[in-house]
Amino acid sequence: MNGMSLIRPLSPRNALTWSWLLVWSLVAFIWAFAEAVWFFIMVDVLISLAVMRFGVLRAMVPTLAALIGALLGGIVLYQWAQVNPETVRAFILTVPGITEELADEPLGALFLGGFTGVPFKIFAATAYEAGIAPLQEFLQPASMARLSRFVAVVAVSGVLRFLLYTRLRRVGLMRLTLFIWVVFYAWFGYVFWNIV
């Protein structure tokens, strides 16, 4: 194996793709952290766009970053709730779509409404008070809930990409995905938040 390297340098095109993947992953991490703590627009928007832009396998990089960000945000709320549960509850109730009734059902909110972006905050903020301790006991269901949702988003987006790629190509798929999310949030805002 004279002069041959086991690690081949990336082509300029692949290097650019991986550079963009790292940027998308950083954004996914920050977005998922913000969603876990307060932000109400799901990081699923970015994950589905990543699938359309990079394909299913490469989109797993920002998806993993989103999972880590979401869990870290959940840990922040969980730890905060140990110190001052009343403040965390008041903070969570400022998020659009969260009501007192939702805030009183942490496990139900986590599993029944895992696709709204709202319930994970409730679970993280109320888990300690509900007797879910130590931290590992919180992380187990939290990880499963986040991972299952993100995998579902990647799977659905991957199927759409597979079915429509030859007709729409990458840019068309990203536009379609954005359009679907705008329609979803317009409907969601009208039905649940009364803001449209």
The model's pTM is 0.85
Average pLDDT value for the chain: 85
Distances (CA, A) of 99 to 94, 104, 119, 168: 9, 9, 11, 41
User: Each residue of 35-55: pLDDT tens digit?
Assistant: 999 998 899 999 999 999 999
Residue 116, pLDDT > 70, answer no
Give the pLDDT mean for 80-100. Answer: 86
Cβ atoms within 10 Å of 124's Cβ, excluding its own: 29
Structure-token match 């009734």, residue found: 101
Q: Measuring CA to CA, which residue among 62, 10, 9, 60 is closest to residue 32?
A: 62
Nearest to 114 by CA among 141, 135, 133, 88: 141
Outline where 93-134 has alpha helix (H): 100-103, 106-112, 119-126
Summarize pLDDT for 129-184 with one digit per residue, the tens. Answer: 888 888 999 999 889 989 999 999 999 999 999 999 999 999 999 999 999 999 98
Q: How far is Cα 39 from Cα 41, in angstroms, rounded to an integer? A: 6
Is residue 8 exposed (0-12), middle (13-18) or buried (19+ Cβ within 10 Å)?
exposed
pLDDT of 75: 96
